[in-house]
């Protein structure tokens, strides 16, 4: 699939980009992998692990807000994985125009640059917060999803597919590193927004594998949603420190009690295929996708994929094993 291909990852110095790079070099032989990001320090740190002298990798400084820079970076690229985004909910509520410039205008720039360069496929990474959004981050990612899906009408060459998933275990900005730091410092009182709060969780490898699947299977316009597990925030805290106590601080502005990966309104366009839900496109350019999945299991009207009514759950014991594995790997 990726043999002798040129792949570019926006936001490639983040946790997803680094694991994606590691997986690609371990399992494939690409012609070149381009890391496109705006932080030269993170690129220099990543180059210590993936040196251009040892790997077919190139580091490209740039911002998705800059269409001209994207035009230069996309020249000769076969596949793009778009992971760059501003995603800290409180910060984006306070800086809304910055969120729009990166997450929305940046998405438009990716579409236009990919079409202009004749890129084969673009895989855009989205989030459960894009479904029925209540905060600016989710709203910008919803608009980005729409931009990428609509991008399929602009070219017969370039195909755009979206992957949408929940919280990544141990990712920067998630609650897990915060609680681990509390445990390390001996802090016993953990701040919990709500004792009934649930979230979807998946591993970094699951996210990378979903992107690779979308590259392999995507025909354009689909949204790939993995079947992943839920966990209560209180169980997560107890898995990290069984002796911790909770301080209920209340749900923050722009935060949901439970997250949704597929809304009821999307149910009529959703099917289940090989362990993942696929929300099918409604544009005429999505005919190929609808034909490809015509025999897949159709979801019933009114189906909702929400973290509190999920049929898969992570137990405290399971999460403790995950934490132990991550600690050993560090």
pTM of the full structure: 0.94
Banded model confidence at residue 25, pLDDT cuts 50, 70, 90:
very high
In contact, 191 and 233? CB cutoff 8 Å? no
Which of 5, 121, 129, 238 does the annotation list as catalytic?
129
Report the alpha-carbon distance of residue 308 to residue 290 in Å, rounded: 30
Q: What letter does residue 101 receive in the DSSP assignment? A: I
**Contact at 8 Å (CB) between 118 and 157?**
yes
Q: Answer whether 100's CB lies under 8 Å from 58's CB.
A: no
Inter-residue contact 16 to 63 (CB < 8 Å): no
Q: What is the dihedral of CA 134, 138, 144, 147, to 10 degrees?
A: -20
pLDDT tens digits, one per residue of 197-237: 999 999 899 999 999 999 999 999 999 999 999 999 999 99
Task: Please confirm, yes or no, whether 120 is among the known catalytic residues.
Answer: no
Q: What is the mean pLDDT of the chain?
A: 93
Residue 319's pLDDT is 83
Q: What is the pLDDT of residue 176?
A: 82
> Taking 70 as the threshold, does the pLDDT of residue 303 lie above it?
yes
Going along the chain from its start, the domains and CATH numbers come out as 6-166+201-228+263-304 (3.40.50.720)
- 93 near 135, Cβ under 8 Å? yes
Report pLDDT digits (tens) over 69-96: 999 999 999 999 999 999 988 899 999 9
């Amino acid at each position: 699939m990726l043999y002798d291909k040129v792949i570019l990852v926006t936001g490639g110095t983040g946790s997803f980009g680094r694991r994606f790079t590691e997986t690609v070099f371990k399992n494939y032989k690409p012609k070149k992998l381009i890391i496109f990001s705006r932080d030269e320090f993170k690129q220099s740190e990543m180059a210590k692990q993936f040196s251009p002298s040892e790997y077919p990798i190139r580091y490209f400084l740039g911002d998705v807000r800059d269409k001209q820079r994207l035009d230069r970076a996309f020249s000769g690229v076969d596949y793009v994985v778009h992971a760059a985004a501003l995603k800290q909910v409180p910060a984006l509520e306070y800086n809304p125009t910055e969120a729009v410039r990166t997450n929305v205008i940046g998405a438009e720039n990716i579409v236009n640059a990919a079409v202009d360069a004749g890129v084969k496929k673009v895989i855009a990474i989205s989030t459960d917060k894009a479904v029925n959004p209540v905060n600016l981050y989710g709203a910008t990612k919803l608009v980005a999803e729409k931009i990428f899906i609509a991008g399929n009408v602009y070219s017969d060459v370039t195909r755009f597919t979206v992957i949408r998933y929940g919280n990544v275990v141990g990712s920067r900005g998630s609650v897990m590193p915060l609680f681990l730091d509390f445990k390390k410092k001996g802090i016993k009182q953990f701040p919990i927004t709500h004792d009934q709060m649930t979230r979807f969780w998946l591993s970094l490898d699951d996210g990378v594998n979903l992107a690779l699947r979308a590259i392999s299977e995507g025909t354009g316009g689909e949204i790939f949603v993995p079947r992943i597990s839920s966990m209560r925030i209180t169980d997560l805290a107890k898995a990290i420190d069984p002796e911790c106590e909770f301080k209920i601080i209340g749900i923050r502005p722009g935060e949901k009690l439970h997250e949704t990966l597929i809304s009821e309104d999307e149910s009529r366009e959703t099917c289940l295929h090989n362990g993942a839900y696929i929300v099918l496109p409604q544009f005429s350019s999505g005919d190929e996708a609808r034909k490809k999945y015509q025999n897949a299991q159709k979801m019933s009207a009114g189906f909702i994929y929400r973290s509190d009514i999920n049929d898969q759950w992570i137990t405290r014991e399971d999460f403790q094993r995950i934490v132990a594995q991550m600690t050993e790997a560090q």
